[in-house]
Every structure is written in structure tokens, then in C-alpha cells.
Structure 1
Amino acid sequence: MAQKLAFTASSAPSAVEACDALIRAYGQADEAEADVIVALGGDGFMLQTLHRTEGLPAPVYGMNRGTVGFLMNEFADDDLPERLAAAEEAVINPLRMTATTVTGEVRKALAINEVSLLRQGPQASKLRILVDGKPRMEELVCDGALVATPAGSTAYNYSAHGPILPIGADVLALTAMAAFRPRRWRGALLPKTARVTFEVLGGDKRPVMAEADARSVRNVVRVDVESAPEISHRLLFDPGHGLEERLIREQFA
């Protein structure tokens, strides 16, 4: 029996054109009833698709119609059923962010790649870091800090000189951005079960914002970050081009 495929595309003209061609070739199923959801675009669109379809049973197979396409497969408009039948699955868990603002408002969001704290103004942020409720760093002066999953370790985390994590590793990367004090602090590797708390020091003069996969909360005073193992995202990759291989290859680029 032929697989039921649901196609979705970013607004990029190349993605829309490819999506229309694939729908003509293979038909269009409802996402809730599909065997596979095929996303056409870049990594940003893949993250949007994973968040949007988080409660659906179908895995997501991405084809790159964007720029980097780390989470995507190469685009081709032929032999798609054969590629899907041979695809390898990777299962990833997101992070849960709980951010408290200066007004006492509590905002929650999920992040597949990372949760980051960033200074809002010209002055460096000052952060106090706790792990599982235990103070680990009384004051980190920096442009920001983030907690990244293995799947997100090659994104913002890597640009901030954080480590690339194997996709099966049960660890999270805690990375500072432009750390001023301690000047040489390069971050930490934490168990996946760890709960990381950032407390903003002097936020009235040094305001800080938090982001979970580009969803922002401004003027935070506290941000809690922990893995959400009860939520799983299933991604499909062509054989030999899965996340494990990409993470290794990226380290030798």
C-alpha cells in the first residue's frame, strides 16, 4: 500500500514550487492521517514544522529548499517513496523553558535546538547559574548563555564555541557567549536530566531576554531549563546522512 504523504513548504518560492510538484506527483494527505510529513524549506522551517506537528504520530522528512539544511535531506523530486522506505529515524527530545519576567509573568516554551539568554542593551548581562538547585556560578558576566540539545549543538551553540554533542548522548551543553568574567570559562557538559536555572542580576540596569528556538521573552529575571523526555520528535534521514553522521562530519569541516 502506498504511503500517505503530507507536504508542507516554507514561503520561499523554490520550496512552494517543489511542494506543488510533489503534490501533483504523489497526492496530498491530511497531516493527522499521514504516514510521513514531508517538509520543504530550511532548518528554521523544519523547527517550525516539528513544533507544529508535535502531537501527530507521523515522522517528518525534510528536503532542503533553504540555505544550510542541517536537519534536511538533499532535494530530489523523484524516487521519493523509495527514499522514505529506506530512511533512518532519529528521535530527539526538546527542552522546556520556564521564564519569569520582572512583572512576575511566567512564560513557557519548548526548544528543539536551544534555550538562550541574551543581553537586551549595551551592557553585558550578569547571570547566576544553578544546576538542580545548587549554585554553581555566582556571577557570569557575558553577552549571554545558552543550553543546547545534541540536535542543536551545531547551531547557535557551535557558533558560540560550544561543543558538538553526539545525537545519542544523554548530555546538554551549557555555553557562555563572549564571557567577560570568568574570562576563560567555556561552559559545561551536564546530564540530560539536569535542571539549569539562570538568575538575572541587576536586571534593571542590565536587562536580559530569553529565547526558545527564536520565541522571545523580554525582561526576564529567572529562566529554568530542563529536558522534556515525554515529548519526542521523529525525523527521517537518507541512509548514511543521518544526524549522527552529520554531527561527526561537522567536526572535521
Structure 2
Amino acid sequence: MRRAGVVTHGRPEQIGAGIARLQTVARESGVDLVVSPEEAAKHAIAPSDGDDEVDIVVVLGGDGTMLRALARQLGDGIPVVGVNFGRVGFLSAMDRDGLESGLTRIFAGDYDVVELPTIEVVAAGARHVAVNDVVATSGSLGRMVELEWAVGGEPLGRVPCDGVICSTPSGSTAYNLSNGGPVLMWGIDAMALTFVAPHSLHARPLVVPRGRDVLVWNRTGSVPVAVLVDGHRVAEVSPSERVDIRLAQERSLLATLPEATFVSRYRQSFSA
């Protein structure tokens, strides 16, 4: 490995001496760090000269920072590895105390790459790709919406609710999990569909495989439906308009230490 990109938490103070520690490990491993002007300004260090081609991207932050980095690298074949400086850090390969030992191994090539599906959504005439999840929710705080839905062209009725979550396996342990949705292990090429606060006894979570599009119509008389991609509002759907959701062709590439498996992270993050 010759060059590694750097992405850090939006609040530089969150990672403390993390950048200096990363610089030391990279220097000792013979790896050049590629630091963008944005990252350099955050940490008062010099940006990199020359091209920005890298072999891997190192993230110092939490799951939000990981999502930002994974989304940025979609389609370029560059894996992303995380050191957790956040709270849960489910997507990170190591915690902050293991930075030196973990990144030394990463820079020596001792890592696996997990390919994870992403989700595309077409709403209001624009296409967006989500690493974690797509959420169609009430655009008016405190107002319920009525959503009509279909999977693979087959109608499944209407559900009064606060919204619906379509999540990837990597996103199934986030908002989807907190709403009682199913956890999808890495390696499953599918998405989980879970309604938020459904006013129904029949709205159950569903796992949808690749090739089956999910169609969601806003059937609420006067309330718009907001569409969120990885937590960011990207569109608003008026009554009678539709949102198209499916597994995308792009895949996010998550680099991890061999022992930092899905099961070990799941046990560490969510077991009592």
C-alpha cells in the first residue's frame, strides 16, 4: 500500500490527537497520507501536493463520518476503513485505542473487503443513492401520512403511518433496527422494509430481494411526504406522487480487520 486518504469527524475536537497518531503510523508504515484542503483546514495541517489517487480511505469518526466517506467513494473501487471516534461505531473496524495496531495491519495489507449493496431512490425526477437507508416520512411534523405500496409490481394496500424505511444490510442496524425491523447480515443482497409507527395490525417488516422494486405513493390528502437519503432530505413528494426504490448497481466497499466480523460487531454493539 502506497497512499491513503483521510476523512475525519465534522468536529475536529472529537478525534483529539487522532490525526497525529495516524500520521505517525503512516510514516512508520511507509504510507503517504492524502489530505484534502478541507481536512487540512480542519486540523491546521498542510494539504497534500499532487494527485489524490489512493489505495484506501481511513476514517477517524463515527458511523456518520463512515457513511459520508462510503458515499463519496461509491463506484471508484476504493475501500474505506474506520477507526471509531463516535458512539456506536458499528461500521468501524477498530476502536480509538486500537488505532496504532489496527492501522499498522491495514497498511500491511492484513484486511478484508466486504461488498455491501446500496439503494437507489427516484423521487421528484431525481435519482439518489443511499449507503444506509431511504426513508419516506411525513413532511409535516406530527402529521400522519397514508402510504400505498407495491413490491415487484404487486400491490400491498395502504398503511396509515409516520413513514417507511428501506434499509441496506449495513443500514439495517440503524433507524430500521430501532423501529423493530429485521437485521440483515452482511452478504445478503436485499433490503429491509419497515413502517414507522403504523396504525395497522398488518404492516409487518419485509425483506425484499434484488430485482423487486418498491413503489410508494403518497395518498394523504394534504400532507407532503419527505424523502431522506442517509438522513439528508433530498425531495418532497406531493399527494398522489410516487417514490421508486430499488437496490442499486453501486456497492460500498468496507475494509475491515479479519476478526472484526459482522457477528463480533453486532455482539459488541447491541448485546447487554
TM-score by structure 2 length? 0.81
The letter for the 2-side match of 1:199 is W
**Equivalent residue for 2:113, pick from 73, 76, 89:** 89
- Look up the match of 2:244: 224
Alignment of 1:1-253 (within 5 A): 2-12=1-11, 13-15=13-15, 17-26=17-26, 27-29=32-34, 32-72=52-92, 73-75=94-96, 76-79=98-101, 80-84=103-107, 85-100=109-124, 106-121=125-140, 122-137=142-157, 139-180=158-199, 182-203=200-221, 205-220=222-237, 221-229=241-249, 231-247=250-266, 252-253=271-272
Question: How many percent identity over aligned positions?
Answer: 29
Pairwise CA distance, 1:67: 1.3
| Contact 2:21–2:100, Cα closer than 8 Å, also in 1 | no
- How far apart are the structure 2 equivalents of 1:20 and 1:53? 24
AA at the equivalent of 1:81: T
Q: What TM-score do the two structures reach when normalised by structure 1?
A: 0.87
Contact kept in structure 2, 1:43 and 1:66, CA below 8 Å: yes
Q: What amino acid maps onto 1:5 in structure 2? A: A
Letter in 1 for 2:186: I
Distance 1:251 1:165, change over 3 A: farther
Do the aligned partners of 1:165 and 1:247 also contact (CA within 8 Å) in 2? no
**Residue type of the partner of 1:82?**
R
SS in 1 for 2:64: helix
Structure 2 counterpart of 1:103: none
The one-letter amino acid paired with 2:226 is M
Q: Quote the Cα distance in structure 2 between the aligned partners of 1:58 and 1:156.
A: 26
CA distance in 2, matches of 1:212, 1:88: 27
Structure 1 residues 189, 77: CA separation in 2 closer, same or farther (over 3 Å shift)? closer
Q: Deviations over 1:91-113 (max 9, x none)?
A: 1121001012xxxxx12211111
The more displaced of 188-197 and 28-37 is 28-37
Between the aligned partners of 1:168 and 1:248, the Cα distance in structure 2 is 17
Distance in 1 (CA, whole Å) between partners of 2:256 and 2:198 is 36
Structure 2: how far apart are the matches of 1:116 and 1:40? 27
The range that moved more, 208-217 or 182-191, is 182-191
Q: Structure 2: which amino acid aligns with 1:241?
A: A
**Number of residue-to-residue matches in the alignment:** 243
Distance 2:16 2:114 in 1: 26
Q: Give the whole-Å Cα distance in 1 for the aligned partners of 2:186 and 2:270.
A: 13
Supply the distance in 2 between the matched residues of 1:214 and 1:179 (Cα, whole angstroms). Answer: 20
Separation in structure 2 between the aligned mates of residue 248 and residue 170 of structure 1, nearest angstrom = 22
Return 5+ residue gaps in structure 2 as ranges: 27-31, 36-50
Q: 1:41 touches 1:65 (CA, 8 Å); kept in 2?
A: yes
RMSD: 2.2
